[in-house]
Amino acid sequence: MARIIGIDFGTTNSVISTIDNGKPVVIPNSSGDTLTPSAVAFQKNGDVLIGRTAKNQAVINSERTFLSIKRHMGADFRARLDGVSYSSQMIAAMIMRRLKQDAEKYLGETVEHAVITVPAYFSDAQRQAVKDAGKLSGLNVLRIINEPTAAALSYGIRSEGSELIAVFDLGGGTYDISILEVCDGVVEVKATSGNNHLGGDDFDSVLIEYIAKDFQRKNNIDLTKDRMALQKLREDAEKAKIMLSEASEISISIPFITADNTGPKHLDITINREVFEKLVAPLLEKLIAPAKQALEDAGLMPEQIDRVLLVGGSTRIPAVQQAIEQFMGKPVSKSVNPVECVATGAAIQAGILAGEIKDLILVDITPMTLGIETEGNRFIPIIKRNTSIPCSDFKTFTTISDNQRVVEVHILQGESDRASANISLGKFQLSGVRQAPRGEPRIEVTFSIDANGIVSVAAVDLDTNHSQAITIKEMNRPTDSQLETQGLFIERKLG
């Protein structure tokens, strides 16, 4: 098989990797950096900037610059620029295409295949969107793999014996906790939980709010109402957060951040680590509930975990490490690079698929329960969360009205008993049901989840053998022909 790359598509930064002589290697981008900012900027002359150059000009081009697009994957996101409507998939695809080009330049060969990572707690719609972005970038996405699982693979390739591992993955936009067992070349995921709306961006936002309020108190100007000033503040707040992981106190100085009728205004503020940790305390508390859930689902107590791995740049924050160590009752391990291990794990999975790595096996799980809606807003589970994938299961249902000829199947993902409280993945209708009194027909609904965690559903009337089947596609997912058209557009746009 041709070369397969591993892509850690991150909220803040993305990383690419490959297998070289049986070992994972991180590939530098064209600037020689291993981290490529997940940023896309559209210039008025039609050029598209990606990565560091896009992020660097965000202050002066904030309305045409897209950061943290990963947080919009699977959502109804649209940005209209210069007469073109861009979806989150299209913007993400531009980042992935640049990663593909950087890999080809480094390797000196064409790259056609990839393994791409996603947060473990991503929904089916979000996974589909990432896979679509990969296709739009010109890549054949062989596998979608969960980020904590990729990190465990990166650790497991060097591990001997048997260990229970907790992987805490706190990136720029998402948080996952996975419990895994590594034993004699088998990496088995036991349970996972998480929060798709918790990450480094939220730590930045807390700091931005604090600084903006201080500035408003001193100058009676709200910086959050000024797009350019806010972008300047966002960049310096991110830098301050990173610096506070090393220094106990930092100063932020932004001259000419804004102006009023009295003249230009300068921002100067000093923040110490103690203040920062008080500000982010509510975010630190949000780390614990998913960790408790994952351990409970795995049937384990914190003291039974042998090793705690940290993944994602936000785990470098000392307060994050302290919160995790306090909950787990043991020090965190620093045996893997928190920023690169997800990408190297993706490369290891690529190596397994290509047959280059033969002594490692991965057993992953589905992160959320899948089922259908029934009468009275009830949610009936068919595949429970933390079931090993690929998998398939079914349940038999019946009609609710006499002589009912059509049955609507509403597919949901979540943990609530109430259908309306869960994530709707899609609907389809099974027609041609045998006319009979209600409760008599037998409708078998089968759910299947592939190795990428993507769902297919089939329904069949067991009396007439009429059937209907779909692979779940959220309402806003493009068709195959639309994907082809958008992919050609991106290829022309980026070259």
Q: Is 358 a catalytic residue?
A: no
The total number of residues shown for the chain amounts to: 495
Tell me if 397 sits within 8 A of 460, measured CB to CB.
no
Strand ranges (E), 343-462: 361-365, 370-374, 378-383, 388-389, 391-397, 407-413, 423-430, 443-449, 455-461
Structure tokens at 306: 């042998």
Q: Tell me the CATH number for domain 4-198+286-365+484-491.
A: 3.30.420.40
Residue whose tokens read 């940005």: 79
pLDDT score, position 157 = 67
pTM of the full predicted structure? Answer: 0.87
Q: Cβ atoms within 10 A of the Cβ of 195, count?
A: 18
Domain ranges of the chain: 4-198+286-365+484-491, 200-281, 370-464
Which CATH entry fits the domain spanning 200-281: 3.20.20.140, 3.40.50.2300, 3.40.190.10, 3.90.640.10? Answer: 3.90.640.10
**Active-site residue identified among 55, 70, 131, 190:** 70
CA 165 to chain centre: 21
Which listed residue (102, 132, 147, 356) is catalytic?
A: 147
- For each of the chain's 495 residues, which pLDDT tens digit applies? 578 999 999 999 999 999 998 889 999 999 999 999 999 999 999 899 999 999 999 989 989 999 999 999 988 899 999 999 999 999 999 999 999 999 999 999 999 999 999 998 888 889 999 999 999 999 999 999 999 999 988 887 666 678 999 999 999 999 999 999 988 888 899 999 999 899 999 999 999 999 999 999 999 999 999 999 999 999 999 999 999 999 999 999 999 999 999 999 999 999 999 999 999 999 999 999 999 999 999 999 999 999 999 999 999 999 999 999 999 999 999 888 899 999 999 999 999 998 888 888 888 899 899 999 999 999 999 999 999 999 999 999 999 999 999 998 999 999 999 999 998 888 888 888 888 999 999 999 999 998 888 888 999 999 888 888 776 654 446 677 777 788 888 888 887
Per the DSSP assignment, residues forming a β-bridge with 350 are none
Q: Does the structural domain 370-464 have CATH classification 2.60.40.2890?
A: no
Active site (annotated) includes residue 8: yes
- Which bin fits 355, alpha (ψ -120 to 50), beta or left (φ > 0)? left
**Predicted pLDDT at 159:** 65
147 included as an active-site residue: yes
Q: Which of 124, 169, 181, 202 is catalytic?
A: 169
